[in-house]
Amino acid sequence: MYFHHSEDRQMLADMLGRYLQQRYPFDIRNKISASPEGWSRTHWAELAELGVVGALFGEGAGGFGGTGFDIAAVFEGLGKALVVEPFLGTLMAGQALAMAAGKQDALLAEVIAGTTLLAFAHEEPQSRYDVSDVETQALPNSAGWALQGCKAVVPQIEAADRILVSARIAGAPGDEAGIGLFLVDKAAARLRGYPMVDGGRGGELVLDNTPATLVAKDGFPLIEQAIAAGIVALAWEAVAVMDVLKTTTLDYLRTRRQFGVPIGKFQALQHRMATVALEIELARSAAISAADALGQDRRTRERAVSAAKYTIGRVGTLVAEESIQMHGGIGMTWELPLSHYAKRLTMIGHQLGDEDHHLERFIALGHA
């Protein structure tokens, strides 16, 4: 039993931290985030060269990591700097591809090298976090497959060269069986991109007789595991964002003076701050538990993952709101990095299932 990163992971985390500190300071991040592309190919290539993408995948997939705690170390680092590049989609799509029976080695090698980017297009306008609610249809034709339907709010989909798309081969929306996974070339897809409230870009994917290559016929278990990895990533990103909010709020309580004293002298604020600090520690424990559970049996894994996402959602909202409140007016400004961290933390709650969704799922898994 120990609760620190292994030496290898710590080295990776330190290296990533140094890179982001030097090359990705906050003003650069905001420029990239608000740019027409909403991400930076230069940084992506450099981070891939440092091995940050490779750390997300196991040796079988050509990487050198891929466990829950590898994902944790990477996304903790990314969260601290509020990185907008498409790591989440790459992680989920890449992990699903690595689990698929078909040989995807060549594609994964390009992904790890940073030359090909992936997106993971699973959720739909009506699905509201329900993993099995897939309406998009996959129809076989002479050339292979064609997809018909719509995929919703896919992070950084415009950055992707290849998009991993779920579509129904058989059954009805809500069935776990009959969901296939397909690769779609961005060039063949119709995208509607847009900026996101917390930075970077997302997009809708419209599939209208769009040609696709089948990756897995029975895709549900792969999707579920890819999402579990994505939730571990989001949980650690969230904890890192919370740590930044905590540190900056403490600094503010120390230095901002009102009524002749630092505002940290006021009991009302001390109590709010203490609650924030202790809830962050509980959230960190939930993130540790989820990272650990990634390699375990389905029920253990999914319960831990849902518990973590519930916790992150609950605590994330608290920390974001309280950080702004304790900063007062200045916390409302675009200029202060704090507000951008608060926005990101809140929006993590809207990705891959919110607090209510995962509480309900945790209960359902308990009855199973």
Partner 1 sequence: MDLHFSPEEMAFREEVRAFLKDRLPTRIAEKVRTSKRLTKQDMAEWHAILNERGWYANHWPKEYGGPGWSVAQAAIFDIESALAHAPRIVPFGVSMLGPVLIKYGSQAQKDHWLPRILDGTDWWCQGYSEPGAGSDLASLKTSAVRDGDHYVVNGQKTWTTLGQYADMIFCLVRTSTEGKKQEGISFLLIDMKTPGVEVRPIILLDGEHEVNEVFFTDVRVPAENLVGEENKGWTYAKYLLTYERAGLAGVGGSMAAFNHLKEIAQSQRKGGRPLAEDPLFAARLARLEINLENLKITNLRVLAASGSGGSAPLEMSAMLKICGTEIRQEITSLTRRALGPYAQPFVSEALDEGFNGAPIGPDYAAPVAVDYFNNRKLSIFGGSNEVQREIITKALLEL
Spatial separation of the C-alpha atoms in residues 229 and 75, rounded to whole Å: 11
Structural contact between residues 234 and 283, judged by C-beta atoms closer than 8 angstroms:
no
Among 137, 258, 275, 333, binds partner 1 (CB under 8 A): 275
Does residue 351 contact residue 308 with C-beta atoms inside 8 Å? no
Of all helices (H) and strands (E), which one includes residue 289? helix 267-293
318 backbone dihedrals φ, ψ, rounded to 5°: -60, -50
Per-residue interface string for the shown chain with partner 1, residues 68-107, x marking contact by CB under 8 A: -x--x-----------------------------------
> Please, which residues have CB within 8 angstroms of residue 271's CB and are 6 or more apart in sequence?
none
DSSP 47-108: HHHTTTTGGGS-GGGT-S--SHHHHHHHHHHHHHTT--SSHHHHHHHHHHHHHSSS--HHHH
Interface with partner 1 (CB under 8 A), residue from 50, 109, 206, 250: 250
CA distances (Å), origin 48, targets 64, 90, 115: 13, 11, 9
243 binds partner 1 (CB under 8 A): no
Do the Cβ atoms of 254 and 264 come closer than 8 Å?
A: yes
DSSP per-residue letters across 232-284? HHHHHHHHHHHHHHHHHHHHHHHH-EETTEEGGG-HHHHHHHHHHHHHHHHHH
Cα–Cα distance measured from residue 217 to residue 177, given in angstroms and rounded to the nearest whole number: 9
Shortest CB 5 distance to partner 1, Å: 7
- Tell me, residue by residue from 3 to 32, as one string, x for binding to partner 1 by CB under 8 A and - for no binding: xxxx--------------------------
Please identify, among the stretches 32-40, 91-99, 115-123, 284-292, the one whose residues bind partner 1 according to the rule CB under 8 A. 284-292
Give 284 or 343: the residue with its C-beta nearer to partner 1.
284
DSSP 35: S
Least distance (Å) between residue 107 CB and partner 1: 31
With binding defined as CB under 8 A, does residue 278 bind partner 1? yes
Report, in Å, the least distance between residue 252 CB and partner 1: 10
Applying CB under 8 A, which part among 34-42, 144-152, 155-163, 305-313 lies near partner 1? 305-313
User: Would you say 233 and 87 are in contact if contact means Cβ atoms under 8 Å apart?
Assistant: yes
Q: Closest CB to partner 1 among 151 and 361? A: 361
Nearer to partner 1, 213 or 285 (CB): 285
Compare residues 93 and 231 and give the one whose CB is closer to partner 1: 231
Q: Cβ of residue 287: shortest distance to partner 1, in angstroms?
A: 10
> Which stretch, 20-28, 38-46, 274-282, 346-354, contacts partner 1 (CB under 8 A)?
274-282
Q: How many residues bind partner 1, per CB under 8 A? A: 42
Phi-psi region of 199 (alpha: psi -120 to 50; beta: other; left: phi over 0): left
- Residue from 95, 166, 210, 289 touching partner 1 (CB under 8 A): that is 289
CA–CA gap between residue 160 and residue 153 (Å, rounded) = 14
In angstroms, give the least distance from the CB of 293 to partner 1: 9
| Contact region with partner 1 (CB under 8 A), list: 31-39, 50-58, 278-286, 344-352 | 278-286
Per rule CB under 8 A, is residue 254 in the interface with partner 1? yes
Q: Is 138 helix (H, G, I), strand (E, B) or coil?
A: strand
- The residue ranges that bind partner 1 (CB under 8 A) are 1-6, 69, 72, 250, 253-254, 262, 264-265, 267, 269-271, 273-275, 277-278, 281-286, 288-289, 291-292, 307, 310-311, 359-360, 362-363, 366-367
